């Protein structure tokens, strides 16, 4: 009895479970059919819509998330160690440059430093890719190491480097037809042969030369992409000592005996030196020292402690100016314009010292002769007046001053003279001769050198300045 009850309960439970599962299956099937009908209806409605750009636009593989640039450009499918079109005509590579700054120009090292953006343009069909909407793809320096790029270098450069802050300043842009733009920011220090014969009134011309290192003109043809317009400069470029007059570009061929002919591009710029700095630091001080040396011509010749230190001071100051200028200049084997001016000024200062030495020497000799002539004069004791011994030609002489052997002032200048009375005595009688020729006077003007120097020195130095500035300016 109990067994029959248990069997009846199990049958009831199993029947209820089967009906539930069957109901769920029908619900899931109905949901799936309904969803399928909705999707089919939407697809039908979407297929009949016209003018929808989203549905008509074809997919762009350059925008695909899973596509790698190396696979898109097929970098692994080609040998990029060879130039484009190997075995054919030379590949043209256009170049343009934008000068960012002209940093320093050194006369001592004969070089200049320039920062610029260097851009190359060429076509490599191996890098072409299909694209309907994306005009180009831009990469950094990591892809540059995997493809072919022109091997440019700066001729006569001493130092150069590509900026790497915060990353390498290199840009590669590839177009769908295979055209490539390769740009980099570089600072280069290059040699500049300067002619300093007119320094500091000079004008210098320097050139930055660009050339392929390995490829001759048969393999690579370098050219300025837009002629002179290929060179752009920043309007804010300025230098402390130079005025930038002009930039221009040229193209020439360079020949090497062991490798052949190469295309070479030139960036030539002309610089004119500012003269005002050197006028203040060199020319004006030198001129003032020369004028200071002329002050001694108006100082009494007997004032030795005043005239000698003045001459020595001006000479030493000129030596210091010459040494300071030469210390900042290269040791060239020719004479510069500033050397001519400084050394001529030094000669004028030196001659002013020599002039006083001559005046002092002649004064000493004169005083010695005067002393000897005084000793030879006869004694005038007991005579009624010294004028009795004088010739009538000396009647205009102040008799009260004959004892001092001096004349009154004439034209504002006190001309010192020595009036010498020579007594012609008879050796046998000792009587003083009464002949008019018995007396003579010796006139010695010791101020003549100083008086002429006051005119000759300034006149000669002014003439030198006129000739100097007319030649070098």
DSSP for 245-281?
EEEEEEEEEEEETTTEEEEEEEEEEEEEE--HHHIII
Distance in angstroms (rounded) separating the CA atoms of residues 132 and 134: 6
Q: Under 8 Å CB-to-CB from 140, ≥6 apart: which residues?
A: 167, 168, 170, 171, 172
What's the pLDDT at 116?
95
In this prediction, residue 377 carries a pLDDT of 67
Using one digit for the tens of pLDDT, what is the confidence trace for 375-398? 776 655 554 444 444 444 333 444
Q: How many Cα atoms are found within 13 Å in the side-chain-facing hemisphere of 34?
A: 6
CA 181, 187, 190, 196 torsion: positive or negative? positive
pLDDT of residue 402: 40
- Residues 2-61: tens digit of each pLDDT: 555 555 565 555 555 555 545 555 554 554 555 555 545 544 444 444 444 444 455 555
Prediction pTM value:
0.67
Cis preceding-peptide flag for 200 (omega within 30 of 0): yes
Contacts of residue 327, Cβ cutoff 8 Å, sequence gap at least 6: none
Nearest partner of 201 among 470, 462, 460, judged by Cα? 470
3-state secondary structure of 448: helix
In the prediction, which pLDDT does 148 show? 92
**Cα(239)–Cα(248) distance, rounded to whole angstroms?**
18
pLDDT at residue 67 in the model? 54
Question: Which residues of the chain are under the pLDDT cut of 50?
Answer: 21, 28, 31, 39, 42-56, 65-66, 383-444, 446
């Amino acid at each position: 009895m109990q067994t029959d009850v248990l069997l009846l309960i199990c049958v009831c439970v199993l029947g209820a479970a089967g009906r539930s599962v069957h109901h769920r299956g029908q619900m899931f099937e109905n949901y799936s059919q309904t969803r399928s009908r909705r999707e089919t209806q939407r697809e039908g409605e979407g297929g009949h819509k016209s003018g929808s750009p989203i549905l008509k636009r074809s997919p762009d593989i350059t925008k695909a998330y899973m596509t790698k640039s190396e696979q898109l450009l097929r970098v692994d499918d080609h040998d990029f160690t060879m130039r484009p079109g190997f075995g054919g005509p030379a590949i043209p590579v256009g170049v343009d440059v934008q000068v960012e700054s002209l940093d320093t120009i050194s006369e001592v090292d004969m070089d200049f430093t320039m920062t610029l953006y260097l851009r190359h343009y060429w076509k490599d069909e191996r890098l072409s890719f299909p694209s309907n909407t994306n005009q180009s793809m831009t990469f950094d320096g990591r892809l540059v190491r995997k493809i072919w790029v022109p091997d440019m270098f700066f001729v006569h450069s001493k130092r150069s480097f590509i900026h790497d802050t915060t990353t390498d300043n290199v840009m590669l842009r590839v177009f769908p037809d295979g055209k490539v733009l390769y740009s980099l920011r570089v600072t280069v220090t290059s040699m500049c042969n300067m002619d300093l014969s007119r320094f500091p009134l000079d004008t210098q011309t320097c050139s930055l030369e660009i050339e392929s290192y390995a490829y001759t003109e048969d393999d690579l043809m370098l050219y300025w992409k837009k002629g002179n317009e290929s060179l752009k400069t920043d309007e804010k470029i300025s230098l402390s000592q130079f005025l930038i007059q002009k930039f221009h570009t040229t193209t020439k061929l360079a020949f090497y005996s062991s490798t052949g002919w190469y295309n070479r591009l030139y960036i030539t710029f002309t610089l004119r030196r500012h003269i005002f700095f050197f006028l203040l630091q060199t020319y004006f001080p030198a001129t003032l020292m020369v004028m200071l040396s002329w002050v001694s011509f108006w100082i009494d010749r007997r004032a030795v402690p005043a005239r000698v230190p003045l001459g020595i001071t001006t000479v030493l100051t000129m030596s210091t100016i010459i040494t300071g200028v030469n210390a900042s200049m290269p040791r060239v084997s020719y004479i510069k314009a500033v050397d001519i001016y400084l050394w001529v000024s030094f000669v004028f200062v030196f001659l002013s010292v020599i002039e006083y030495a001559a005046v002092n020497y002649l004064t000493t000799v004169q005083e010695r002769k005067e002393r000897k002539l005084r000793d030879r004069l006869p004694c005038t004791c007991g005579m009624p007046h010294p004028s009795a011994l004088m010739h009538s030609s000396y009647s205009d002489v102040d008799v009260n001053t004959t004892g001092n052997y001096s004349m009154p002032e004439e034209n504002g200048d006190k001309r010192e003279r020595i009036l010498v009375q020579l007594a012609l005595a008879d050796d046998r009688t000792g009587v003083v001769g009464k002949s008019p020729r018995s007396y003579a006077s010796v006139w010695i003007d010791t101020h003549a050198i100083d008086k002429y120097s006051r005119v000759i020195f300034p006149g000669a130095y002014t003439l030198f300045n006129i000739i100097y500035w007319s030649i070098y300016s």
